[in-house]
Amino acid sequence: MTILYVLVPLAIGIVLIAVAGFVWATHRGQFDDLETPALRMLRDEPANRPPPEIGKRPGTEAD
Amino acid sequence: MSTSVAELPGAPPRCAHCSLPVPEFEVDRAREHQFCCPGCRTAYDVISAAGLVGYYTFGERRQTAVSSTARDYAEFDHPAFQTLYVRRAPDGLATTELYLDGVHCASCVWLVEKVPLAVPGAVSAELNVPRSLARLAWDPARTSLSAIARFLDRLGYPPHPFRGAAIDQRRQAEDRAMLVRIGIAGALAINVMTVALALYAGWFGTMEASYIRYFRWVSLALTVPSVLGPGRIFFRSAWAAIRARRLHMDIPIALALGAGFLRGAMNTWTDTGPIYFDGVVTLIFLLLAGRFLQQRAQRAAADSAELLHSLTPSTARLIADGAIREVPVEALVPNQMVLVRAGDPIPVDGVIHDGESTLDCSVLTGESRPVSVRAGDTVYAGTINQRASLTVRTVETGETSRLGRILQELEAGMQRRAPVVRTADRLAGWFIGVVLALAMVTWLVWQRVDPAAALDNAIALLIVTCPCALALATPLTMTVAIGRAARRGILIRGADALEVLSQPAELVLDKTGTITEGSLGLISWTGPAELQAAVVSLERHSSHPIARAFETAWADIDPVEAEQVQPVMGGCLTGVVGGRLITIGSPRYVLAVASDPQDLAGTLADHLTPVLVAVDGVVACAAGFGDPVRAGARDAVKALEARGWRASILSGDVPSVVQAAAVAVGIPADRARGSATPEDKLVAVERRLADGQTVVMVGDGVNDAPAIGRASVGIGVRGGAEACLAAADVFLARPGLDPLVELVDGARRTMRVIRRNIGISIGYNLIGAALAVTGLINPLLAAIMMPVSSLTVILISWRSRTFEATR
């Protein structure tokens, strides 16, 4: 059972990595808004959508 | 695409943008697509020009007509605006947050986040749906914020500057810090528990002493970071409470944590006795989790005042030197001339200099009928100009306008609102005193009996009576209940509201929009039924509210051919149907061109808006228009009265209308009051509060907002003004008063579950305390008892049937 003297610190090391990952994700704002990403659904975008036609772009012309 | 909806004969075509029926006068057969209003047409053109037609493949789209303001948002590029709201990143990009009206589903997220595709120079757009906040980044060299704002506006999301960015950032940092604490505490707790499991398994004597010692040291090594890291906030808040000489839940928690940890560390060092570490770390984790839930619920309530500021109108058309310029409202001073176009809200308090029109004053008065105004009349900011352009001389602007003062009162009222003393907090204070005294007594008594066990038993008592089930009971049940309610269209901010609503109280209802539909509807009709088809056919050519009401009332009547239709001023119409000349309009107009031998004009009730129909110069029908009472309102009032609530009406509308509505829903006429200004409503609510009553105010308008903000619990109803929703604790997203009954029932059930949870956790604690005081407890039993009580509470909260259909 002396293997425990290696395995337990190893397990704690893995936990440390997981915690570090969680802290990193939190600071990146991954948990700030849990509602919108669900709505930002995985929709297939048309692969090569034509760029918007020049001169017809709305919002840019003066009112 | 929903644009190819087949046109059934008689059925109106559907709007290509919002799928609502298109009124006859908007139908343009030459076009491929039909639109219900110019707003939708603009939005459709904007969306298709930007290559975003994918929007129309969403199953769930906004089904409301677009109401864009068509403003140019020039003030967004003003240097003063930029310094207030816009931040510059080192890479030259500018960022800001805008609050968007009308955001609420997946298609909105998709559309708003496509801004960079449609506006060159816009770099990114991110939408936060629950808060309606869009975070925008753009390159100021290539585009301007006003261009982005115009684009959003054309899509039907009029943007407002968000003034709470600094507070928002601080809160976000707080939330993240709390989450990190919970994460660390949770990871450590799970591992200490695992080690503890090994120790308990070895309790029965099969483990070598060297391994036991090893595991105890591992536990200590894992507990130290939990106590010094996430656990620190309990010591800090206990210390603050002691210095303020108050009993706080954190005092026994800090004592138990500190004593348990120190004693465990000593026992680890001397290799004797229990170590308590598993209890300590679990306690830290569960308490933090409970606190986080509570903090979130309170956070939502605190947002409202900020929101309010974002929603007040921000520009005016100033007439100066013979030109018209759009300027920020803040820049206006008294004695300037502003132009208010038809359909626009009036930006200032002032006097009409030129023009004649009607105003929708429901924002200030709750009055459903339009008010006629002409030169010399006083107008107030926030009221909406309906018919024709007006030139207004400014008298008061911004904060000093009537609307500004009302909003200030609203804010002040919300600050004055006494915090609800929660059952759990009340119990906790009492509980803490008992536990502290008991621990002291235990220690003193055991000093005489067995001094070696005295400290252990006192610590065991503190740990086993840990109020973590108590601390979890309230926030968890509330959070679950609020989530369930939201799925049923009842949005609750601030968990306090549920506690107040669980007891019968004084219910004050607004009339317009709350008890009634808030829009014009046909109430009475005297005349031959065969004329109905002719009336509908004529009214299809008008966009007047009366025409809409006729169409809604008689939607199933097939229209016939109408010729020579001529709209006359003020929604009056003439036309030829089946060879007869039909004239529809107000008595003033119709009686001028037709005779009324039956005196139909005299048969109409006072509180209704009259409309007469004349056939070939003789009045044949009289129709009365009013604000119809919502279906089910009467049953809802009856149900609430049966539960011990006392309902009354407080409205800004004229008394005769209010009395009629009161009778219709079964409220005694002496409890219905009309002609109440927003200030009157606030005073009435305050008077009841001063009498010691609990007041629940239900309303929909800005005129109700101060009273809603001041009441014990304020409830906003569907379709209400944003300011009113900002002030409300509860928002009913389903129409009618039915959800109110459901809310009251749900609140009562929620409080019952909470009381049951508190009872269970106190029961557990009492048993544990008895065992600890008598020295019967051992670490194994304590370690099992504590999580079991928390788990029971969590399970009960989760399974509880708090918000479900009542009937």
Per-chain mean pLDDT for chain B = 78
Structure token pair of residue B462: 């503190």
What's the pLDDT score for residue B192?
A: 92
For B47, the closest chain A residue by CA position comes to A58
Whether this model's pTM surpasses 0.90: no
Contacts of B218 in chain A (CB under 8 A): 8, 12
What pLDDT, in 10s, does the model give residues B586-636?
887 888 888 888 777 777 777 777 888 888 888 888 888 888 888 888 899
What's the pLDDT score for residue B153?
A: 84
The answer to which of B105-119, B207-221, B272-286, B461-475 has the lowest mean pLDDT is B461-475
As a whole number of angstroms, the distance between CA B801 and CA A61 comes to: 55
Contact A57 B120 (CB under 8 A): yes
Contact A50 B51 (CB under 8 A): yes
Q: How confident is the model at residue B731 (pLDDT cuts 50, 70, 90)?
A: confident
CA distance A23 to chain B (A): 6
The average pLDDT across B352-370 equals: 75
Q: φ, ψ for residue B713 (rounded to 5)?
A: -140, 130
What's the pLDDT score for residue B798?
A: 76
What's the pLDDT score for residue B499?
A: 83
For A15, the closest chain B residue by CA position comes to B187
The average pLDDT across B242-265 equals: 80
Higher pLDDT, residue B340 or B4: B340
What's the pLDDT score for residue B30?
A: 74
CA distance B50 to chain A (A): 5
Residue B269 has pLDDT above 80, yes or no: yes
The answer to which of A22-36, B365-379, B500-514, B621-635 has the lowest mean pLDDT is B365-379
What's the pLDDT score for residue B471?
A: 67
What's the pLDDT score for residue B232?
A: 92
What's the pLDDT score for residue A56?
A: 41
For A55, the closest chain B residue by CA position comes to B49
Residue B106 at interface with chain A, using a CB cutoff of 8 Å: yes
CA distance B472 to chain A (A): 22
CA distance B683 to chain A (A): 39
Q: How confident is the model at residue B362 (pLDDT cuts 50, 70, 90)?
A: low
What's the pLDDT score for residue B417?
A: 54
Q: How many contacts, defined by CB atoms under 8 Å, are there between A and B?
A: 103
Residue B457 has pLDDT above 80, yes or no: no
Residue A23 has pLDDT above 60, yes or no: yes
For B178, the closest chain A residue by CA position comes to A26
Q: What percent of chain B has pLDDT over 90?
A: 9
Q: Give the nearest partner residue to A49 out of B51, B147, B176, using CB atoms.
A: B51
The answer to which of B6-20, B108-122, B274-288, B504-518 has the lowest mean pLDDT is B6-20
Beta bridge partners of B525: B623
CA distance A61 to chain B (A): 8
As a whole number of angstroms, the distance between CA B442 and CA B435 comes to: 10
Which H or E run contains B180?
helix B165-201
Q: How confident is the model at residue B410 (pLDDT cuts 50, 70, 90)?
A: low
What's the pLDDT score for residue A62?
A: 38
Q: Give the nearest partner residue to A26 out of B127, B183, B187, using CB atoms.
A: B183
Q: How confident is the model at residue A10 (pLDDT cuts 50, 70, 90)?
A: very high
**CB of B311 within 8 A of CB of B730?**
no
As a whole number of angstroms, the distance between CA B406 and CA B409 comes to: 5
What pLDDT, in 10s, does the model give residues B135-189?
899 998 889 898 898 888 888 787 877 766 666 777 788 889 999 999 999 999 9
Q: Which of residues 19-58 of A touch B (CB under 8 A)?
A: 19, 22-23, 26-27, 29, 31-33, 35-36, 39-41, 43, 45-46, 49-53, 56-58
What's the pLDDT score for residue B414?
A: 60
What's the pLDDT score for residue B352?
A: 92
As a whole number of angstroms, the distance between CA B543 and CA B106 comes to: 32
Per-chain mean pLDDT for chain A = 71
* Count of helix runs (H) and strand runs (E) in chain A: 2, 0
The average pLDDT across B243-267 equals: 80
Q: Around Cβ B148, how many Cβ atoms within 10 Å?
A: 27
Q: Give the nearest partner residue to B72 out of A12, A52, A63, using CB atoms.
A: A63
Residue B8 has pLDDT above 50, yes or no: no
CA distance A52 to chain B (A): 5
For B171, the closest chain A residue by CA position comes to A32
Q: How confident is the model at residue A55 (pLDDT cuts 50, 70, 90)?
A: very low
As a whole number of angstroms, the distance between CA A46 and CA B2 comes to: 19
The average pLDDT across B675-683 equals: 85
Contact A35 B130 (CB under 8 A): yes
For B172, the closest chain A residue by CA position comes to A32
Residue A19 has pLDDT above 90, yes or no: yes
Residue B516 has pLDDT above 80, yes or no: yes
Contact B191 A27 (CB under 8 A): no
What's the pLDDT score for residue B439?
A: 79
As a whole number of angstroms, the distance between CA B368 and CA B371 comes to: 9
Region of B345 please: left (phi>0), alpha (psi -120 to 50) or beta.
Answer: beta
Contacts of A41 in chain B (CB under 8 A): 106, 110
